[in-house]
Chains A and B, each alone.
Chain A
Amino acid sequence: MSCEIRPTGSMRWGDRMADIGIALPDLLRLVQAHLFLSGCAVAAALLVGLPTAILAARNRRIGAPMLGLISLLQTIPGLALLALFYPLLLLAGRASGLPIPALGFLPALLALGVYALLPIVRNGVAAIRGIDPALVEAADGLGMTGPQRLLLVELPLGAPVILAGIRTAAVWTIGTATLATTIGQPSLGDLIFSGLQTEDWRRVLVGCIAAAALALLIDFVLALMESGLAVRSRGRLGAGIALLLTIVAGAVLPIPDRTGSVGTAPGRTIIVGAKNFSEQYILADLIETRLRKAGYRTERRDNLGSAIAYRALAAGDIDVYVDYSGTLWANVLSRTDTPPAKAMLETLGRELAQRDKVRLLGSLGFENAYAFAMSRKRAQVLGIGDLGDLARASPRLRLATDLEFLNRPEWRAVENHYHPSFSAARAYSPTFMYRALGDGSADVITAFSSDGRISAMDLVTLSDPRGALPHYDAVLLLAPRPAREARVVAALQPLIGRIDIGMMRGANWMVDRDNDKRTPREASAWLAAKIGPAM
């Protein structure tokens, strides 16, 4: 297939570090976001943790259960903790009637803060309890009040141990903050997660190395301060503080964005959501480009779980994203029937607007549905064009599916409508499923219809004349607020119906293939050029 890269004009020399798969300003922005989030989380943990530690150190009856509780929180896996805060905040928002954002910075801050709590509290308690009892007796005997003893004796003497706890917390937090991307908060995890999804190992590596480097840097600076405190060297402590302040300044300094302006463009910031696969990244980039041209600033919330994305849109935590009609039909409307594509879109448009004031702007023009695919040549030889033909030929054919298809309602629907009886049906992970087809150990596979490999391997997808398989039209959804904004709608309207299945497969292939891999942004630029003058 053809997927030549046309120069997009906006890229300048040095704008992109060709060998690491990400533009430098974008990398810096992620580093900043990562640092800012981690810093705020550790600061929040410190704000809560230090008083808790003091209380726990003074009162053993409170101390033991408190440390137990915090240790228990620590055993929750980071990913789960992040995911838990979404429904919690959603609930809190509903219960209080306040506009509490359930996605992005706040839940990430809370989850990471909780995570950072343990080393801070544990070391805080150890620092205060570890102080020579003679010094505590002296402090009391001299007539220090509780707060005086804390400020003049316990905190200064416990500082190295307290700081060691902060150091542990900071390193943990910087590592765990990569997971924040799953609840829509930008971090270096964006690179890791999208890199894993698109099998772009350069991005994974850059993300990992950048996060590790940040952790090492912060660890070094805090270690410098810690040793400065331990040996009472003002020089070391001062150098550590100066470095820390420099890093803090770096975390909040504005970085020029892609268009060269420093993020002061008129118009509000529109938040574009994406689930966790290549096609979603490409389309989100395409949407961003349209909105930026219309004068909006944009932010991304990537790697949203399928269940979270729609709720986030309905709650206004994201403004726009692409979902699929069949997914919305089953998950949001809880329907099990499979009406024709047009009827499904109409019903969805009406029901989502009525229920959540969400606007379904329209179908982009392609489907990402389950489809049976086989090599073009073999299909021609066997005379197979649709699922009816396939079912008749099935006793001589071997089926390869992805890991879950044989347990899905789609498969039951196909069996009920066409009664196939394949000589073998085996489940593979997607990559091996395509290999099985390639090396002849399978004749038919269950593909996703917009998968780039369909074009690249010259496969045909078989039609479904009896309508057994549900439709998965890619549709553009707008949150209640942007749904009412004519300029946003006008900026995105030109995408409706303009992306055919071939174009989407081409763009997906650019990102998913192993050789000459492109970034989602490059693929979206290619797609934009294909769509043509309206863009």
Chain B
Amino acid sequence: MISFSQVTKHYAGRPVVEGISLSIARGAFVALVGQSGAGKTTLLKAINRLVEIDSGAITIDGEDVTALPLAALRRRTGYVFQGIGLFPHMSVAENIWLVPRLQGVPIDGRAERVARLLELVALPPVLADRYPAQLSGGQAQRVGFARALAAEPSLMLMDEPFGALDPVTRSELGRAYRALHERMGLTSLLVTHDMAEALLLADRIIVLGEGHILADLPPRELLAYRGHANVQAMIDVVRDQTDRLDALGRSDG
């Protein structure tokens, strides 16, 4: 379980996250949604301390993240982001095997484990010896997921992981990850500015605006939400698009 208590972070004197408290249950799939500058990425990165908060506390299973050794905290937390960040001078297998390597796991089991991880993200095993430059964007982010999962984390932090992918790949990979989440019993936090993506993938959606939580509901209830104008606007966009697509379909047929 992850809990935030009165978490605050300022950038250049301006609060990006202000006094946020919430807790996330083990096995949850939570989407953090909001416009640019809403503080969603800051909140996510505060968990593995890519961002250091100014005040408040974050705990994972009761342990304060600041009390844990930084490297250990990050190695047991999967992290996937829009930039993907595969190392161009390492093969796919070397990229995937990085965290176990940092943990000093003997290399003997590498080939087998890498093959299993590739299979998990639906990539053929021959890719193991390729270099990142030889992969398509979708393949690269699948490798990114495989790398994040290599050390068998129970918590996955994802910052716009599908942001740079084309819509087809994006939808495909989103669904594939959702399946992995179920199968492996992960706790997943997904930052996205795409409300439709959040509604379709997550069990719980937290809408952030100007450093505060504007709404915190399961998808179905969020669709029926009436309250903060900004939140409603985000939902309206999705609903409006769906309606127009429906209308388009009907007029066609």
A395 on the interface (CB 8 Å rule)? no
Q: Which of B83, B84, B89, B102 contacts A142 (CB 8 A)?
A: B102
Interface segment out of the listed A130-138, A276-284, A421-429, A496-504: A130-138
Interface string of B185-213 (1 = CB under 8 A from A): 00000000000000000000000000000
The residues of B that contact A152 with a CB separation of less than 8 Å are: 87, 98
Give the complex CA separation of A139 and B87 in angstroms.
Answer: 9
**Complexed CA–CA distance, A290 and B128 (Å):** 72
B83 and A134 contact, CB distance less than 8 A: yes
B: interface residue count bin: 20 to 34
The interface bits of chain A over 180-196 (1 if a CB of B lies within 8 angstroms of the residue's CB, else 0) are 00000000000000000
**Closest CB of chain A to B66's CB: distance in Å?**
15
Report the nearest B residue to A153, measured CB to CB.
Answer: B87
- B72 to A: closest C-beta gap in Å: 7
User: Given known contacts A134-B84, A148-B102, is B89 in contact with A141 (CB within 8 Å)?
Assistant: no
Select which of B72, B81, B89, B98 is within 8 A of A157 by beta carbon.
Answer: B89
Does B88 contact A143, Cβ atoms closer than 8 Å?
no
71-102 of chain B: CB within 8 A of chain A: 71-75, 79, 81, 83-89, 98-99, 102
- Chain A positions 138 through 154: 1 when the CB is less than 8 Å from some CB of chain B, otherwise 0: 11111111001000110
Sample of 23 A–B contacts (CB below 8 Å)? A132-B85, A134-B81, A137-B50, A138-B83, A138-B86, A138-B87, A139-B87, A141-B48, A141-B50, A142-B74, A142-B79, A142-B147, A143-B72, A143-B74, A143-B75, A143-B102, A144-B71, A144-B102, A145-B70, A145-B71, A157-B88, A157-B89, A232-B89
A40-58 near B? 1/0 per residue, CB < 8 Å: 0000000000000000000
Cα A156 to Cα B94 with chains together (Å): 14
B71 touches A137 (CB 8 A): no
Q: How far is the CA of A232 from the CA of B88 in the complex (A)?
A: 10
Verify B50–A142 contact, CB threshold 8 A.
no
Cα A102 to Cα B98 in complex, Å, equals 51
| Chain A proximity mask over B55-73: 1 for CB below 8 Å, otherwise 0 | 0000000000000001111
User: In angstroms, how far is the closest chain A Cβ from the Cβ of B14?
Assistant: 22
Asked if residues B89 and A138 are in contact (CB atoms below 8 Å), the reply is no
Quick check: B102 and A135 within 8 Å, CB to CB? no
**CA–CA, A142 to B147, complex, Å?**
9
Residues of A within 8 A of B83 (CB): 132-134, 137-138
CB-based contact B88/A142 at 8 Å: no
In the docked arrangement, what's the CA distance between A390 and B36, Å? 98
B190–chain A nearest beta-carbon distance, Å: 15
Q: Secondary structure of the A side of the interface?
A: helix
Shortest Cβ distance from A160 into chain B, in angstroms?
A: 11
Q: Once the chains are docked, how many angstroms separate the CA of A145 from the CA of B72?
A: 10
Q: Which residues of B contact A148 (CB under 8 A)?
A: 102
In the complex, chain B residues whose CB is within 8 Å of the CB of A138: 81, 83-87
* Bound Cα distance from A188 to B70, whole angstroms: 54
Between B84, B85, B147, the greatest number of chain A beta carbons within 10 A of the residue's beta carbon is seen for B85
In the complex, what residues of B have CB within 8 A of residue A232's CB? 89
Residue of A nearest to B157 (CB): A141
- Which residue from A135, A139, A143, A157 sits with its C-beta under 8 Å from B70? A143
Query: B81 and A142: CB pair below 8 A?
Result: no
- Distance A134 CA – B72 CA, assembled complex (angstroms): 21
Complex contacts, B50 vs chain A, CB 8 Å: 137, 140-141
Q: Which residues of B contact A156 (CB under 8 A)?
A: 89
Of B71, B84, B85, which is within 8 A of A143 by CB?
Answer: B71
Instruction: Using A138-B83, A157-B88 as known contacts, list a sample of 12 further A-B pairs with CB atoms less than 8 Å apart, ordered by residue number in A.
Output: A134-B83, A134-B84, A137-B81, A139-B87, A141-B74, A141-B79, A142-B75, A142-B147, A143-B99, A157-B87, A157-B89, A232-B89
- Shortest beta-carbon distance from A377 to chain B in Å: 83
A62 to chain B, nearest CB (A): 21
Contact (A143, B73) CB under 8 Å given A137-B81, A148-B102: yes
Which residues in B have their C-beta under 8 angstroms from that of A134? 81, 83-85
Task: Please state if B102 and A141 are interface contacts (CB–CB under 8 Å).
Answer: no
Closest B-chain residue to A141, C-beta based?
B79
Select from chain B the residue with minimum beta-carbon distance to A159. B89
Contact B74 A140 (CB under 8 A): yes
- Closest A residue, CB atoms, query B164: A134
Contacts of B84 in A (CB 8 A): 134, 138
Give the complex CA separation of A135 and B70 in angstroms: 18
Quote the shortest CB–CB distance from B224 to chain A (angstroms).
36
User: In the complex, what distance in Å separates the CA atom of A142 from the CA atom of B143?
Assistant: 14
Interface centre among B75, B89, B147 (most CB of A within 10 A): B89
Provide the bound-state CA to CA distance between A153 and B94, in Å: 12
Closest approach, in angstroms, between the C-beta of B104 and any C-beta of chain A? 12
A272 to chain B, nearest CB (A): 53
Interchain CA distance A152-B87 in the complex, whole Å: 9
List CB contacts (< 8 Å) of B30-54 with chain A: 48, 50
Return B60 CB to nearest CB of chain A, in Å. 14
Shortest B100–chain A CB gap in Å is 11
Verify A141–B81 contact, CB threshold 8 A: yes
Q: Which residues of B are found within 8 Å of A145, using beta-carbon distances?
A: 70-71
Contacts of A141 in B (CB 8 A): 48, 50, 74, 79, 81, 85
